[in-house]
Amino acid sequence: MTLNELAAHVAAEFQKIYARPPRWIVAAPGRVNLIGEHTDYNDGFVLPMAIERYTVIAAGRPAKDTKQIQLRSTCEDQPVTIDPVQPLKPFPKGAWANYPAGVIAGFLARGLNPGRFDALIHSTVPLGGGLSSSAALEVAVATLLEVITGRKLDPVEKALLCQKAEHDYAGMPCGIMDQFISVMGRENHLLLLDCRSRKPELVPMSDPSVTVLVINSNVKHELTGSEYPTRRKQCETAAKILGVPSLRDATADALESVRGKMDEVVFRRACHVISEIERTVHAAEGVRASNWPAVGQLMYASHRSMRDDYEISCREIDAVVEIAESIGIPGGVYGCRMTGGGFGGCAVALAKSDAVAAISQKIAADYKKKTGIEATIFVSRPAAGATVIKA
């Protein structure tokens, strides 16, 4: 389904629920990160692309007299209502409405009050699959509020507002990658983001002979919530012992020289981050040169580092990567790795376009044999960031 078809579908659903057509329609994409995992909150580099999976919101002013914002999601039975007045209180922990609420709070804090509206939210980004369904929701809400208030934010400010919503309302101390790519994605480009300077650099990726494959393991181990902040703290501890502001400023040699002063686990966490930042910069060079075998090798190395040093993989994702590696370049796979926060979710593979169908079949069959689970596999070209479909 194209984005316009998806928008038409959501508009029709809005009409069914609210008995009138929507006045506004916006969309924001999910993302897949090609390489550069857990480097964003260490001031390092990431290399994501927006995917052709979107959160779409159709909205309009309420027909009835009400002071409230009413949000409905096609995944939920009950609507939620929000009073657009400060201070806006978070919903209970784990509630999906915290993402929109946090974004609305960010607009209110800037003196931008959207007033009351009704909205229907629909997403084709798999929820909790490590493809940034939450950032897509935040950025879609921010895009809607820009249209309603008539005030377009600077893209960096918009991404940071959404990140703050996730910190303060959803309680997840994420880095900046997901919101930046959902705002700034560009068709046929990866985004090499320097998370220290926040300078985005578009890296063209339009070689038709190469395709990005997303393999959803359809498992989510409930560790992400607790393990993510722990990893952040371990990185801060390592940076402190190294005497640098962040691991971006450290080298493998410097780390080796303080090895004796460091807990072994903290040492391995730092090993991952320092090496991953370097791999990400090299991978961007590889993409620019269309050197796919080199990019693929960096992806495998990244996976090993996440599995052994950062310890954020799981046996199901390891199984996907092993199957991909066994297919290898002769079978059309250049590289594969886990993508996103970890403990399940998706793997990303770089494959020869003419072998994608056979590769998908083989991965699905072997994964089922090894784990008993059905994987969901799809391809995506690098997509554009958030967009207004109807203003």
- Positions that interact with ligand GAF (CB under 6 A): 37-38, 40-41, 174-175, 177-178, 340-341
Shortest Å, Cβ 31 to ligand GAF: 9
Comparing C-alpha atoms, which of 337, 338, 379 is closest to residue 356?
Answer: 379
Would you say 352 and 148 are in contact if contact means Cβ atoms under 8 Å apart?
A: no
Closer CB to ligand GAF, residue 124 or residue 163?
163
Shortest Å, Cβ 360 to ligand GAF: 24
**Distance, C-alpha 224 to centroid of its chain:** 14
Closer CB to ligand GAF, residue 38 or residue 362?
38
Phi-psi domain of 290 (left: phi exceeds 0; alpha: psi -120 through 50; beta: other): left
Q: Is 178 annotated in the active site?
A: yes
Closer CB to ligand GAF, residue 47 or residue 145?
47
Closer CB to ligand GAF, residue 232 or residue 390?
232
Shortest Å, Cβ 177 to ligand GAF: 5
Would you say 38 and 46 are in contact if contact means Cβ atoms under 8 Å apart?
A: no
Closer CB to ligand GAF, residue 72 or residue 303?
303
For 3, the enclosing helix (H) or strand (E) is helix 3-18
Shortest Å, Cβ 374 to ligand GAF: 24
Give the helix, strand, coil percentages of the chain, each rounded to 5: 45, 25, 30
Closer CB to ligand GAF, residue 25 or residue 174?
174
Comparing C-alpha atoms, which of 119, 91, 109 is closest to residue 25?
Answer: 119
Q: Is 227 exposed, middle or buried (0-12, 13-18, 19+ CB in 10 A)?
A: middle
Which residues 6+ apart lie within 8 Å of 101 measured at CB? 82, 88, 90, 91, 165, 169
Is the bond preceding 87 in cis, omega lying within 30 degrees of 0?
yes
Comparing C-alpha atoms, which of 346, 216, 45 is closest to residue 337?
Answer: 346
Closer CB to ligand GAF, residue 22 or residue 340?
340
Catalytic residue among 40, 43, 118, 178: 178
- Tell me phi and psi for residue 349, to 5 degrees: -125, 150
Shortest Å, Cβ 90 to ligand GAF: 18
Shortest Å, Cβ 100 to ligand GAF: 17
The per-residue DSSP string of 146-182 comes to HHHHT-PPPHHHHHHHHHHHHHHTS-----SHHHHHH
Q: What are the distances in angstroms from CA 384 to CA 50, 115, 180, 265, 327? A: 6, 29, 12, 39, 31
Shortest Å, Cβ 4 to ligand GAF: 28
Would you say 131 and 214 are in contact if contact means Cβ atoms under 8 Å apart?
A: yes
Q: Which residues are catalytic?
A: 178
